[in-house]
Amino acid sequence: MKIVIIFLASFVFINCEKAIGNKRLNCIDFKIGKFQLINKDSKKKYLIERTKDFQIEQTFDLSTNKKIRKDRYYKIFWINDCEYSLILDTSKSEHDQIDLYINSKGGYKCSIKKIDNNCATVQTNVEGDNFISKVCKI
């Protein structure tokens, strides 16, 4: 048992030292700022701006770079440094029954899984369905 504890402590120390030595971004760097998400499947680009309590999304057609949807406003609730929930602010955003249903189930549950350079791999869960996306700091 003692060996397992020593191994785990060494592993954590080495990984923390690597992150500090390389000055990598961490989850906190993705809490506030401007980000971009590109979805090649849907051919959409999302520009995201986060403040402490809100997230605003602008949606663009990837091929024409024209805005294709009105801005969407979300209330953001941080569970910890790497996990958060997004609830659509229906007073500021157009919405439909699906949006209301997702809100009633606690919204989009997001978890930052991995960070490479200035991009984070985010897993989003909606009613048991998981979606993986890459969000990059701009």
Q: Is residue 8 part of a domain?
A: no
- Residue 132 belongs to domain spanning: 25-137
User: Mean pLDDT over all residues of the chain?
Assistant: 87
Rounded to an integer, what distance in angstroms lies between the CA atom of residue 61 and that of residue 18? 39
- Residue 16: how many CB atoms within 10 A of its CB? 10
> Is position 36 within any domain?
yes
For the beta carbon of residue 1, count every other beta carbon within 10 angstroms: 5
Judge whether 1 lies within some domain: no
Segment (H or E) for 115: strand 108-116
Q: Are 121 and 134 in contact (CB under 8 A)?
A: yes
Q: What is the number of structural domains in the chain?
A: 1
Domain membership of residue 5 (yes or no) is: no
pLDDT band per the 50, 70, 90 thresholds, residue 88? very high
pLDDT in tens, 10-61: 444 444 444 444 567 899 999 999 999 999 999 999 999 999 999 999 999 9
In a domain, residue 11? The reply is: no
Domain of 119: which CATH number? 2.40.128.20
Does residue 92 lie in a domain region? yes
What span, in angstroms and rounded, lies between the C-alpha atoms of 99 and 93?
10
Q: How far out from the chain centre does Cα 88 lie?
A: 14
* pTM score: 0.78
Across 108-123, average pLDDT: 97
Structure tokens given for 106: 């606690």
Greater confidence, 17 or 137?
137
Residue 41 lies in a domain: yes
Domain assignment present for residue 16? The answer is no
